[in-house]
A and B are shown apart, each in its own frame.
Chain A
């Protein structure tokens, strides 16, 4: 196999991210310096981000039967790189006082990012599996990074064991699909779904098992049980990565699989996804109801939010991929901001993160701007108009109404109502007068650090997208995301 110049350019983002991992590893071996290693990582990621512009110019490019770099993958690769950058800046603030080795987290982060990028550009079951494992394995390490905290270690191991179980489903599903059709590429499977329809149990079970395997990573109910424990155990910047990059990449590949392999045509798939979305929305929201740990709360809320996106996927109409992309953008900005505040409030030098809502009580009187950021994020998660969350939800509802999914929309409305309660509970705590002793606080100069600036910028993004969403909508349309429907 030869790689021509254009294909090479198309692959640049993934290659640069991979190279960054190697360079950072060598740099760590050469000299342990937290600031220096973090800067190298950020520089490499920025370079990769810039190379997406080049890659987008030559797109679409098929590189081997495994990968395709088109507008869709460019858009999601950019999202993943932005998330990774944000998490790197948060990690830098967070790891400052960590007693163990601080630098390896960047290694794991870039490694996971390259896995996610492979995932969003894969068009074959083999690359899907490679990408998924490349994404997941570093995450086990990152979740357990602060291993002296037993929750962190416990979370890492739980995630690893359960992931393995889910991967088994995924692999078995692939085997069934292969047994039936003799191909593993999405395009090849597409013909099978067109022909076989309802009648082939092998095909249906195979596709459902793929859905289950990916659904675990997306923490869809009823495969959601691990979510709160892992989110609680993971250090805050890792939690942010887990909640955003991992979900984005897996959802992106799921949507591509559904569209390119025409698995959407399979009625059983759509019905199964409908049930899963319905359960996820209700289970996620009800579980979060009286939660007092903000990381667990964000975990439950991510179950519900992924359920909301799935409504757009079930709708399977012309709005689908646009709605998914828009929802993910708003969800990423909001979740990163919320986790970012938690990360800034905590540091790895302490045994626990500042994750009890109690820690945030009366924060407004001590760190007003940080509180404003968290307030905006909570309102956006709740989907209040003039924040980004509203636009995302609007899209999902528009897609759902178009497809007349009334019972799913009913669940969405109930879920949003319940959500309002627990998101606002956090906001209320932020403004309650201080009960005396201060336990956790962000550093005084948080706003001047990279992580702080990033969080403030995210708050601005959430508000601007809420008030003036058209540029983002245009960007998504220009990226050619909707082109998947035609192929």
Chain B
């Protein structure tokens, strides 16, 4: 297990090689370095993971102190990694799914300008993300947190020549920054109250320090939650995720589906003790998740861009994870996180294959009939879509989502359960709307099929993981996360599974009825007045962008207009003016005359002594 540091060292070295070799290395070398570093990282993760599972360390966690930055007096800043069931699960997802996405990207990005730049950012992302999940200290976690934010910004704006992409990158950066700022305040608060940022110490100190429902604890939990919603694109900071689809598709698969956006879920699970002590904040987590999942479902129903549909589905699936956290089903949330990483990466990669095949066309209504031309992508979409729609028994998504719904029932959160069930009904409709529109019907364009092992291997592997086979993987979370309310089972579980399963099948059938064939019915409905209005409203994601423009942008710009002369700047300008003025006065004393210097020494000496004698 002492090879743990290798997992993030390899991508970091890969990043350095690619960053410094820019313009000097060929595409093939860049691909070998970029994908190879991830492969090595994946191998070391497997090695470390197998060691961890075969010889479980004492206390269920292994910590590796890399070095102590400094230790002065009572201040210690050790730099340590911590591996337990939770970080092992995350590490497995990041390196495993990350490796296959890198492999796919080496095919997808072939011939693009900035090939090695792409891989350098991707490697840096993986390194930061591993740093985030392995850190034993909230400060280092925050380092990784900012690192992935930076990489996300760089990769969304990868095609920087189009200003719209730059805008999308800035938007995501600024909005997640809002969350990060709250999180930083939360960290300050925790440090002030508990005197440490070490995660394990916080988890042991918090219950001794605070009673359940303590106001400070609630505040800290809510601040952490705000950080989490920013990163995970949940209400109210969800607006950046659809725009983030401006980046290359493998980026959407890796960062905006499988790993980074689930960091918020990880953060809450990691600091679960604080949330257990803060019932209001915990309730809020569930509500945020439920509302986001519904909002995203409705928006996904009317989108036409293949990646935006997937983006909204990601948002809604993370909503499920938040819902699970909110009802205290920690393991279920992480389990769903893992399943979601598999099938959403699959869907995004397949979408990448489709987009590449269709000459960068992303509108599903302009595709049509791709089923014969792109069989692999079609199969991927079916399997991934089935998992997303939680098709009973055969799909991975069914097991994890059913778990969440059951926990909601077992903990008597009826409203959250209702939202979850409604979402379970809507998800298959929008998922299979995408599949039926893009792959069935008559062919509207000539697609060229992807080739090569780096194209189909990632898809096949992720396809396998998205079926019930993937659901056989059980993350070793028992030692890390507390038991959930519905763990023991109980009556009603089978009934609920039956209901949600049949809802999923009904959803698919409805989608088939509406979108297979001529689509007369759906067009007729869509063209009625209220439906048009609703469609527009949903298409623009319930108008949050508009709302924020009026709530924040406009008042801010108005303030700017009033303060054109910049009062703050004027006051700030006093400081350099004073500095300059002091400088001028003091400079006058440096006149180069020895007699003046000698006199100043004598005068200074007399002044010092007089002051001390008189005092």
* Chain A residues with a Cβ under 8 A of chain B: 157-158, 161-162, 165-166, 169, 201, 204-205, 208-209, 212, 216, 221-223, 225-226, 228-229, 268, 271-272, 275-276, 282-283, 286-287, 289-290, 319, 391, 394-395, 398, 402, 418, 421, 467-470, 473
- What chain A residues lie within 8 Å of B594 (beta carbons)? 157-158, 161-162
- What chain B residues lie within 8 Å of A402 (beta carbons)? 73
Partner of B613, one of A158, A165, A205: A205
Given A271-B612, A276-B608, A470-B70, residue A165 in contact with residue B601 (CB < 8 A): yes
> Shortest Cβ distance from A485 into chain B, in angstroms?
14
Query: In the assembly, what is the distance between CA of A369 and CA of B592, in Å?
Result: 36
Stretch at the interface among B272-280, B358-366, B467-475, B582-590: B582-590
Q: Is the CB of B598 within 8 A of A161?
A: yes
Interface centre among B587, B605, B615 (most CB of A within 10 A): B605
Query: In the assembly, what is the distance between CA of A229 and CA of B592, in Å?
Result: 7
Identify the closest chain B residue to A166 (Cβ). B601
Q: Is the CB of B72 within 8 A of A209?
A: no
Q: Is the CB of B75 within 8 A of A398?
A: yes
Partner of B70, one of A226, A228, A469: A469
Identify the closest chain B residue to A279 (Cβ). B604
Identify the closest chain A residue to B580 (Cβ). A289
Identify the closest chain A residue to B67 (Cβ). A468
> Shortest Cβ distance from A204 into chain B, in angstroms?
7
Given A158-B597, A470-B71, A473-B71, residue A268 in contact with residue B615 (CB < 8 A): yes
Query: In the assembly, what is the distance between CA of A402 and CA of B74, in Å?
Result: 11
- What chain A residues lie within 8 Å of B609 (beta carbons)? 205, 208-209
> Shortest Cβ distance from B586 into chain A, in angstroms?
5
Interface digits, B68-93 against A, CB 8 Å rule (1 contact, 0 not)?
11111101000000000000000000
Identify the closest chain B residue to A284 (Cβ). B586
> Shortest Cβ distance from B445 into chain A, in angstroms?
49
Q: Is the CB of B607 within 8 A of A222?
A: yes
Is B453 close to A, CB under 8 A? Answer: no
Q: Is the CB of B608 within 8 A of A418?
A: no
Given A212-B605, A268-B612, residue A162 in contact with residue B72 (CB < 8 A): no
Identify the closest chain B residue to A268 (Cβ). B612
Identify the closest chain A residue to B598 (Cβ). A165
Given A223-B601, A275-B611, residue A319 in contact with residue B73 (CB < 8 A): yes
Query: In the assembly, what is the distance between CA of A165 and CA of B605, in Å?
Result: 11
Q: Is the CB of A286 within 8 A of B70?
A: no
Q: Is the CB of A162 within 8 A of B597?
A: yes
- What chain A residues lie within 8 Å of B73 (beta carbons)? 319, 398, 402
> Shortest Cβ distance from A408 into chain B, in angstroms?
16
- What chain A residues lie within 8 Å of B50 (beta carbons)? none
Q: Is the CB of B70 within 8 A of A275?
A: no
A–B pairs, 20, beta carbons within 8 Å: A162-B594, A162-B597, A162-B601, A208-B609, A208-B612, A209-B609, A223-B601, A225-B596, A229-B590, A268-B613, A271-B612, A272-B611, A276-B608, A287-B586, A287-B590, A290-B583, A319-B73, A394-B70, A394-B72, A398-B75
Is B603 close to A, CB under 8 A? Answer: yes
Given A162-B598, A166-B601, A402-B73, residue A287 in contact with residue B612 (CB < 8 A): no
Query: In the assembly, what is the distance between CA of A418 and CA of B615, in Å?
Result: 31
B:563-615 near A, CB below 8 Å? 579-580, 582-583, 586-587, 589-590, 592, 594, 596-598, 600-605, 607-609, 611-613, 615
Q: Is the CB of A209 within 8 A of B592?
A: no
Partner of A222, one of B67, B598, B603: B603
B:35-78 near A, CB below 8 Å? 67-73, 75
Q: Is the CB of A286 within 8 A of B72?
A: no
How many chain B residues touch the partner (CB < 8 A)? 34
> Shortest Cβ distance from B207 into chain A, in angstroms?
31
Q: Is the CB of A272 within 8 A of B612?
A: yes
> Shortest Cβ distance from A211 into chain B, in angstroms?
8
Query: In the assembly, what is the distance between CA of A391 and CA of B69, in Å?
Result: 10
Identify the closest chain A residue to B590 (Cβ). A228
Interface centre among B594, B596, B615 (most CB of A within 10 A): B594
- What chain A residues lie within 8 Å of B612 (beta carbons)? 204, 208, 268, 271-272
B:275-322 near A, CB below 8 Å? none
> Shortest Cβ distance from B355 into chain A, in angstroms?
41
> Shortest Cβ distance from B591 into chain A, in angstroms?
9
Given A208-B612, A275-B611, A468-B67, residue A225 in contact with residue B589 (CB < 8 A): yes
Interface centre among A205, A222, A468 (most CB of B within 10 A): A222
Other contacts beyond A204-B612, A225-B596, A287-B590: 15, CB < 8 A: A158-B594, A166-B601, A205-B613, A222-B603, A225-B589, A228-B590, A229-B592, A268-B612, A268-B615, A272-B608, A283-B586, A287-B587, A319-B73, A470-B70, A473-B70
- What chain B residues lie within 8 Å of A287 (beta carbons)? 583, 586-587, 590
- What chain B residues lie within 8 Å of A205 (beta carbons)? 609, 613
Query: In the assembly, what is the distance between CA of A226 and CA of B595, in Å?
Result: 11
Identify the closest chain B residue to A232 (Cβ). B592
Query: In the assembly, what is the distance between CA of A421 and CA of B583, in Å?
Result: 13
> Shortest Cβ distance from A330 into chain B, in angstroms?
12
Partner of B579, one of A228, A229, A418: A418
Query: In the assembly, what is the distance between CA of A319 and CA of B73, in Å?
Result: 8
> Shortest Cβ distance from B147 into chain A, in angstroms?
15
Query: In the assembly, what is the distance between CA of A112 and CA of B311, in Å?
Result: 72
Identify the closest chain B residue to A390 (Cβ). B70
Q: Is the CB of A289 within 8 A of B583?
A: yes
Query: In the assembly, what is the distance between CA of A122 and CA of B584, in Å?
Result: 41
Identify the closest chain B residue to A318 (Cβ). B73
Given A268-B615, A287-B586, residue A225 in contact with residue B608 (CB < 8 A): no
Instruction: List 10 A-B pairs, minimum CB-CB distance, nearest first.
Output: A222-B604, A289-B583, A225-B597, A268-B612, A286-B582, A212-B605, A286-B583, A223-B601, A287-B586, A469-B70
Partner of A395, one of B69, B72, B600: B72
> Shortest Cβ distance from B67 into chain A, in angstroms?
6
- What chain A residues lie within 8 Å of B68 (beta carbons)? 470
Q: Is the CB of A271 within 8 A of B71?
A: no
- What chain A residues lie within 8 Å of B583 (beta carbons)? 286-287, 289-290
Q: Is the CB of B600 within 8 A of A222?
A: yes
- What chain B residues lie within 8 Å of A276 (beta carbons)? 608
Query: In the assembly, what is the distance between CA of A421 and CA of B580, in Å?
Result: 12
Q: Is the CB of A225 within 8 A of B70?
A: no
- What chain A residues lie within 8 Å of B75 (beta carbons)? 398
> Shortest Cβ distance from B101 into chain A, in angstroms?
32
Q: Is the CB of A398 within 8 A of B596?
A: no
Q: Is the CB of B69 within 8 A of A223?
A: no
Given A162-B597, A283-B586, A290-B583, residue A223 in contact with residue B604 (CB < 8 A): yes
Query: In the assembly, what is the distance between CA of A222 and CA of B68, in Å?
Result: 40
> Shortest Cβ distance from B492 into chain A, in angstroms?
56
> Shortest Cβ distance from B213 into chain A, in angstroms?
35
Q: Is the CB of A225 within 8 A of B613?
A: no
Interface centre among A162, A225, A226, A229 (most CB of B within 10 A): A225
- What chain A residues lie within 8 Å of B598 (beta carbons)? 161-162, 165
- What chain B residues lie within 8 Å of A468 (beta carbons)? 67, 69
Query: In the assembly, what is the distance between CA of A268 and CA of B491, in Å?
Result: 82
Q: Is the CB of A470 within 8 A of B67?
A: yes
Identify the closest chain B residue to A201 (Cβ). B613
Query: In the assembly, what is the distance between CA of A161 and CA of B612, in Å?
Result: 27
- What chain B residues lie within 8 Å of A209 (beta carbons)? 605, 609
- What chain B residues lie within 8 Å of A221 (beta carbons)? 604
> Shortest Cβ distance from B151 into chain A, in angstroms?
20
Query: In the assembly, what is the distance between CA of A398 and CA of B75, in Å?
Result: 9
Query: In the assembly, what is the distance between CA of A223 and CA of B582, in Å?
Result: 18
Interface centre among B71, B582, B586, B596 (most CB of A within 10 A): B586
Q: Is the CB of B586 within 8 A of A398?
A: no
- What chain A residues lie within 8 Å of B67 (beta carbons)? 468, 470
Interface centre among B70, B589, B600, B608 (most CB of A within 10 A): B608
Q: Is the CB of A286 within 8 A of B586?
A: yes
Q: Is the CB of B601 within 8 A of A225?
A: yes
> Shortest Cβ distance from B598 into chain A, in angstroms?
5
Query: In the assembly, what is the distance between CA of A402 and CA of B69, in Å?
Result: 21
